Amino acid sequence: MASLKALKGRIASVKSTQKITKAMKTVAAAKLRRATDQAVAGRPYAERLEAVMASLASKIVVGPQSPKLLAGTGKDQVHLIVVATGERGLAGGFNANIVKLARRKAEELIAEGKTVRFYLAGRKGRVLKRFYPQGIHHDQDMSGMRSPAFDHAQAVAQDLIARYEAGEFDVAHLVYSTFRSALVQEPTERQIIPVKVPEGAEGGASSAVEYEPDEEEILATLLPRNVAIQIYRALLENQAGFYGAQMTAMDNATRNAGDMINRLSIEYNRSRQAAITKELIEIISGAEAL
Amino acid sequence: MALHFELVTPERLVRSDEVHMVVVPGTEGDFGVLEGHAPFMSTMRNGDLLIHRTAGAEPDRIAIEGGFAEVNERGLTVLAERADIPA
């Protein structure tokens, strides 16, 4: 059995750990609220853009003259996986789950004989370097970002589109974590380039709409914007999911620390009692011997 | 009757209001939208959005960057990449 002093020390150390995890949980909860508000505020724009894209795309026949972002490069060889993760750890399995999904997707594509490259947005995706030392295409530094703004997403989107136009890849997938609730985050993968147009969302009376300039030109300006929006949404969802995961993880850690303190205190009290009993026995048996 | 007007950026819904008229800086020229406008869609250049709350009133000015405007039976929706709201 550990000495009394050692036990006392451990209790003190677990207590201070608990204080830290408790504080982190409170901070994450506050930030979670802000992040979800931001995610909700971003929804109307994305929804309208999607509706407009759908109604436009239904009027256009995809052909060789269509913008590359819609029609694709005509090849399907080089796949780029954009991995959006958090900047920090201590959030349970949050980052690990995103990376796991990215790896699964990569393995699938490799099994099909495709070339896979990675584009990292977020520090915690860097573990992928270990598995695919040759495959890292670009490592976007997002560390300056305290909360995602549209500018960040746009910078990434422009970079991606420039690389796409330069023929560096044929298809881009985005891997991030969808925010369901503070407890549930779902790693999600979706294709962002070429743009997958949502189908049949609108119809009917919209045929009377006048366009200025014409449909194709409007669509051509909307496509890059759509990529940026998709990335922006992913960043927002990630942000909210990250704080949700961190809050849960820190809540668990606080509870575990509490359990540990209880266990250690019982052990401490028992050994103290044992020591006292032993001393008493010694005194009494000494007195009897006289 | 008034025109239902919404200004949306990726970050938030900036404004949702009943107004008299809005002048939008379209790529091919400015255009004003009154209540009951025919369905219409246009891209926008960077410029000022003029919002007339009532007929003849001094318009509110909101500087916007990029995006597009859509008019349908529900009203006018402006989707801008950025909007500077005068404080």
Distance CA A213, CA A144 (A): 38
Please count the other Cβ atoms lying within 10 Å of the Cβ belonging to residue A45: 25
The verdict on a CB contact (< 8 Å) between B41 and A41 is no
The CATH H-level superfamily of A29-249 is ATP synthase, F1 complex, gamma subunit (3.40.1380.10)
B41: contact with A, CB 8 A cutoff: yes
pLDDT of residue A131: 80
B74: contact with A, CB 8 A cutoff: no
The verdict on a CB contact (< 8 Å) between A218 and B28 is no
The verdict on a CB contact (< 8 Å) between B9 and A45 is yes
Beta-bridge mates of residue A224: none
> B10: distance to nearest CA of chain A, Å?
5
Greater confidence (B51 vs A145) lies with B51
pLDDT of residue A205: 44
pLDDT of residue A256: 95
List CB contacts (< 8 A) between A205 and chain B.
Answer: 39, 73
In the chain, the amino acid numbered A36 is T
Residue in chain A nearest B80 by alpha carbon: A45
pLDDT category of residue A13 using cuts at 50, 70 and 90: very high
**Is the pTM higher than 0.90?**
no
List CB contacts (< 8 A) between B28 and chain A.
Answer: 212-213
pLDDT tens digits along A17-62 = 999 999 999 999 999 998 888 888 888 888 888 777 777 777 766 6
Distance CA B17, CA B2 (A): 9
In chain B, where the domains are located: 3-84
Task: Give the closest residue to A143 by CA, choosing from A170, A166, A124, A162.
Answer: A124
In chain A, where the domains are located: 4-21+250-289, 29-249
B58: contact with A, CB 8 A cutoff: no
List CB contacts (< 8 A) between B66 and chain A.
Answer: 225
The verdict on a CB contact (< 8 Å) between A44 and B13 is yes
Q: What is the ipTM of this complex?
A: 0.78
Would the CA dihedral through A71, A207, A205, A220 be positive or negative?
positive
Distance CA B39, CA B43 (A): 14
Would you state the CATH architecture of domain B3-84?
Answer: Sandwich (2.60)
pLDDT of residue A14: 95
B81: contact with A, CB 8 A cutoff: yes
B28: contact with A, CB 8 A cutoff: yes
Joined tokens for residue A66 = 């269509």
The verdict on a CB contact (< 8 Å) between A150 and B82 is yes
Joined tokens for residue B84 = 């500077």
